[in-house]
Amino acid sequence: MNDLQPHDQFFKQIFSEPKRVKSLLDIFYPELSKKIDLESIRLLNSEKYSQKIGKSLLDLLYECKIENEKSFLRIIFEHKSYIDKNLPSQLLYYNGVLWEETGEYEEYPPIINIVLYHGKRKW
């Protein structure tokens, strides 16, 4: 974590604890939070390998059960201070890398992307 920017390091330390992730969801997405089994939230290795791109590093990646279904909960702390029109394609790329590794499933598991934006303009 030493190569991270101070704000990235801070958020990764804070949200490496599943209870804090659940608390974040309790505040910002209570309908979803009620469906997540707290005991099932598990931090996964965030280093992923894409056959097309090679190695990439996701910010924080969790596996959890949502209504008893295996799912992925990925927390992305981009800390955008400006509106980034490329963010949707960036998220799509990250999701694709994750789904590429999920070949053992009959269907792709859902991924929930959470982006923290702290800019002055409404996004």
Give me the average pLDDT of each 10-residue run along the chain (123 residues): 62 85 90 90 73 65 84 70 85 82 74 81 88
Quick check: is 28 in a domain? yes
Phi-psi domain of 68 (left: phi exceeds 0; alpha: psi -120 through 50; beta: other): left
Quick check: is 45 in a domain? yes
Quick check: is 122 in a domain? no
Q: What is the pLDDT of residue 77?
A: 63
CA distance 28 to 24: 6
pTM of this structure: 0.70
Cα-to-chain-centroid distance, residue 53: 20
Domain count, the chain: 1
Give the range of the structural domain holding residue 78, as residue numbers without chain letter. 6-117
Quick check: is 123 in a domain? no
In angstroms, the first-to-last Cα distance of the chain is 29
CA-based nearest residue to 14, from 34, 43, 57, 39: 43
